[in-house]
Structure 1
Amino acid sequence: MAYPEGLLGEDEHVIVHKHPHWKMLVLPVLILFVVVGGGSYLAALAAATGWRMIAWVGLAVVGAVLIIWFTLAPLVRWRTTHFVVTTHRLMVREGVFTRSGIDIPMSRINSVRFRHGLLDRLVGCGTLIVESASDEPLEFDDIPNVEQVHTLLYREVNDDPRDDWDWEER
């Protein structure tokens, strides 16, 4: 899904558009399996009782609340979080009901670093650290292909139009 072009400037183009890495959804999916499995087991135990309908309704309500809170909410949060690098700025947008965002102009970015441990390297993500004119560096966690994003962002920050080689003129 491309970032909405209507939110960009006239001569601004999207270079990178990412959602957080899928690893942040592993725990919510495991919780889904535990809730469904545990609820099914408890429903089977309640089937032999005289109050099984009340137990099934109670299990369904508790299960639905747990699935909505611990699985659907993180999934929607993941889907509505955007990390976007354009030709003019770095943008991060997150939130479902209350949206928040940060825009950093390329001219204000001083340095770009990344960090990823063994698990992050195995699944292909990491933390991008951007130092700008603000007091402390901004860290963006769970960026997929963080090394490639780091390289692209570094190139955009240090891109000097005078350095471009125009093959047609030469």
Structure 2
Amino acid sequence: MVFARDTEVALATAVSLVNTRGRDEDRLTTAAELDEFVAGWEFTGARTHDAVELAAVRDLRPVLRRLWTAGDPDVVAAGVNALLAEAGALPQLVRHDGWDWHLHATPQHAPLATRMAVEAAMALADVVRAGELDRLRVCAGEDCADLVVDLSRNRSRRYCDSGCGNRANVAAYRARRAVH
């Protein structure tokens, strides 16, 4: 494990959130899609289930993408600090829902987008502190701009979860076969 479990989950959640907006489609356009996302990533706390909540979560995606792709620890740190300050984050140790001790920096009644932003910011803070920004990547797949978090021990993850690695492997296989 590279980071604490809650950090790894928060990083994976941030990737998944940003990647709901693909080049050709947006998979977060309805309250039902947001409900599915929230349930899938086991977010707890207050929800309004309205258009305002959906818009706020959707607006978080480009902010996280900018931080993810910045590549400069000073830029990421400034962005993380801005997200935490805007939310009035106050980190606290908590245990709930089968999770052992981990950090929350917003109350459970904070808006969903605020809780998502702060969780991502706290995870990115850990990445910056560990000097591991190179683990935050953009998919190496042709014509893919999805984000990737490389939590592998040997830092070898290059592709997103939408099949780009498989497509690259098939293309390389076909290219090798064509030579023979």
Same fold judged by TM-score > 0.5? Answer: no
Q: Which structure: greater strand fraction?
A: 1
TM-score normalised per structure 2: 0.27
Q: Which structure: greater helix fraction?
A: 2
Q: Which has the higher contact order (CA 8 A, sep 6+)?
A: 2
